[in-house]
């Protein structure tokens, strides 16, 4: 591949990827063709379409991605959401590539002997998600007292399967299979593959039937395209755009991929701020932070599923401007800012000013989110509350982020981010004012909770009624106080 003077990629060879160890041309397919449909058209029918929106995991496959503990990590993703064009130059493994009836992979064997498969529709997806956790280099057997109902004696994190649904087994035999897995043997080719670098991002240019897919080689190339084409659809993990394609028939004329741009994948935990690249996935950020931002550490496990977090980027989540995302309330409480970049240069926008209306933001059509900035030091008392119908892998009815600072037992500053209660994520300004300058006592909190119940403009929808949302806001603040009645270092 090479580029023109304006940095747009020009194809010198047909887009292709490695599937189960074999180089395979993508071919003349519509640019919106999903990886799932492309694989099934080539006879690899293990992966299935269940929901077409990334909630069931029947479509999961493994992708060789840059690792944190090893050069390469096998990462499970939803093939139903990714356009196959986004995998140009990449390396994937399907359930068929992991093992065969004559030579089962350890994951497949454990699922078989422990009754983890009945109708079989979801099984290949479970196999791939389970294999990703099987090959996680940091997976080690914990001390006996560290085992709980979410972590097995072999170090298997059952949340690795949170995006996979099964209607037959009741999950117990699947969990038993996961917890029975040992470590990869010395000659395991997939384990060995982790020690070599992953494929680099390939500049891509596809045009079929009037639609284009572009992956410029660098940030300058993307900004040139965005300056020329206001209609460009920017995608990273495609966890939102893929749903629009599958369920709503969206067919943008130009798709521009930014997920592998090095300029958008920076990470720095400095003395004054945390700088997070917009194209880092939520799973990558969670591991890079390693609990150093407790509010985000509470939020990550509640954000969709591991499969979604493996693909979804922090910039993409904020770029959609959704009022019900889990990330904005947490970042609002952390007083985060965004760095927006275009050919005109960079500008820093406080997240509290970024959202302007329903799915509308200050970001201009020719701009990208480059970084998310979280100022340091962090507030000593933080929490994230999510009210939803399911504990995990669900859209929130209400989401609240808290960050409170004290001085001599008095609330010096309170920042509260809200999601799901208005057309945009917002700060609970009236509640913050009701708390600031007052002692951290039950009376203070009860009076502020009455104010918080009036924040936003809740509406009735299929997730919750307006009155329920209002009640949950007030109850959330009371719960926050009950859980942190006497936080360390604060005299009440």
CATH number for the domain spanning 185: value is 3.10.20.30
pLDDT at residue 391, as a whole number: 78
Same domain, 292 and 439: yes
Separation of alpha carbons 225 and 229, rounded Å: 6
Same domain, 194 and 272: no
Same domain, 185 and 320: no
Pick from 201, 218, 237: which residue ends a domain? 201
Pick from 201, 226, 247: which residue ends a domain? 201
Between these two residues, 391 and 139, which has the higher pLDDT value? 139
Same domain, 171 and 288: no
For residue 2, pLDDT beyond 50: no
Q: Would you say residue 7 lies in a domain?
A: no
pLDDT in tens, 188-218: 999 999 999 999 999 999 999 999 999 999 9
pLDDT at residue 140, as a whole number: 85
Same domain, 330 and 467: yes
Q: Would you say residue 377 lies in a domain?
A: yes
CB distance 404 to 413 below 8 Å: yes
Q: Would you say residue 59 lies in a domain?
A: yes
Same domain, 187 and 308: no
**pLDDT range class, residue 41, cuts 50, 70, 90:** very high
Same domain, 58 and 159: yes
Helices marked H in 137-290 — which ranges?
A: 172-180, 189-193, 219-228, 241-248, 282-289
For residue 353, pLDDT beyond 70: yes
Q: Would you say residue 470 lies in a domain?
A: yes
Same domain, 51 and 190: yes
CB distance 40 to 52 below 8 Å: no
pLDDT at residue 146, as a whole number: 65
Residue 361, domain CATH: 3.30.465.10
Q: What end-to-end distance do the CA atoms of the chain give, in Å?
A: 64
**pLDDT range class, residue 488, cuts 50, 70, 90:** low
Total number of domains constituting the chain: 2
pTM: 0.94
For residue 492, pLDDT beyond 50: no
Q: Would you say residue 222 lies in a domain?
A: no
Same domain, 76 and 164: yes
Pick from 131, 166, 201: which residue ends a domain? 201
Q: 228-249 burial, b for 16+ CB within 10 Å, e for fewer?
A: ebeebbbbbbbbbbbbbbbeee
Neighbours of 10 (CB within 10 A): 10
Same domain, 196 and 272: no
Separation of alpha carbons 335 and 328, rounded Å: 10
Q: Would you say residue 216 lies in a domain?
A: no
Q: Give the domain range for residue 406.
A: 263-483
Same domain, 399 and 267: yes
Same domain, 162 and 300: no
């Amino acid at each position: 591949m090479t580029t023109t003077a304006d940095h747009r990629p020009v194809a010198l060879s047909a887009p292709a990827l490695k599937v189960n160890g074999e180089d395979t041309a993508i071919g003349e397919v519509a640019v919106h063709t999903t990886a799932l449909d492309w694989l099934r058209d080539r006879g690899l029918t293990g992966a299935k379409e269940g929901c077409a929106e990334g909630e069931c995991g029947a479509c999961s496959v493994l992708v060789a991605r840059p690792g944190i503990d090893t050069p390469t990590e096998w990462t499970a993703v939803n093939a139903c959401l990714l356009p196959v064009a986004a995998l140009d130059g990449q390396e994937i493994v399907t359930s068929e590539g992991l093992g065969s009836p004559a030579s089962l992979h350890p994951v497949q064997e454990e699922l078989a002997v422990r009754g983890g498969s009945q109708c079989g529709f979801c099984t290949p997806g479970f196999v791939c998600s389970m294999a990703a956790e099987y090959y996680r280099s940091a997976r080690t057997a914990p001390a006996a007292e560290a085992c709980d109902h979410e972590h097995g004696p072999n170090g298997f994190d059952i949340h690795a399967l949170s995006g996979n649904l099964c209607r037959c087994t009741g999950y117990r035999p699947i969990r038993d299979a996961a917890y029975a897995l040992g470590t990869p043997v010395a000659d395991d080719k997939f384990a060995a593959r982790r020690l070599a670098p992953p494929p680099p991002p390939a500049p891509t240019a596809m045009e079929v039937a009037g639609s284009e897919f572009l992956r410029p080689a660098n940030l300058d190339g993307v900004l040139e395209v965005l300056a020329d084409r206001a209609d460009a659809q920017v995608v990273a993990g495609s966890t939102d755009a893929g749903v629009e394609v599958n369920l709503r028939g969206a067919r943008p004329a130009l798709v521009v991929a930014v997920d592998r741009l090095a300029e958008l994948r920076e990470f720095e935990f400095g003395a004054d701020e945390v700088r997070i690249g917009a194209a880092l996935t939520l799973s990558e950020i969670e591991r890079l932070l390693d609990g150093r931002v407790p509010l985000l550490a509470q939020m990550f496990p509640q954000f969709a599923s591991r499969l979604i977090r493996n693909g979804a980027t922090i910039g993409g989540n904020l770029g959609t401007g959704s009022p019900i995302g889990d990330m904005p309330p947490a970042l609002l409480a952390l007083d985060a800012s965004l760095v927006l970049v275009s050919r005109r240069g960079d500008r820093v926008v406080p997240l509290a000013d970024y959202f302007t209306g329903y799915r509308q933001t200050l970001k201009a059509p020719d701009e990208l989110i480059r970084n998310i900035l979280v100022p340091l030091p962090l507030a000593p008392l933080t929490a994230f509350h999510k009210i939803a119908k399911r504990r995990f892998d669900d859209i929130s009815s209400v989401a609240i982020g808290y960050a409170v600072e004290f001085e001599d037992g008095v609330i010096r500053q309170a920042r509260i981010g809200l999601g799901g209660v208005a057309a945009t994520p917002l700060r609970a300004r009236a509640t913050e004012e009701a708390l600031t300058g007052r002692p951290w006592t039950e009376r203070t909190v009860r009076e502020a909770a009455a104010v918080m119940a009036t924040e936003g403009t809740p509406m009735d929808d299929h997730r919750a009624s307006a009155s329920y949302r209002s009640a949950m806001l007030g109850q959330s603040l009371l719960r926050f106080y009950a859980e942190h009645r006497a936080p360390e270092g604060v005299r009440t």
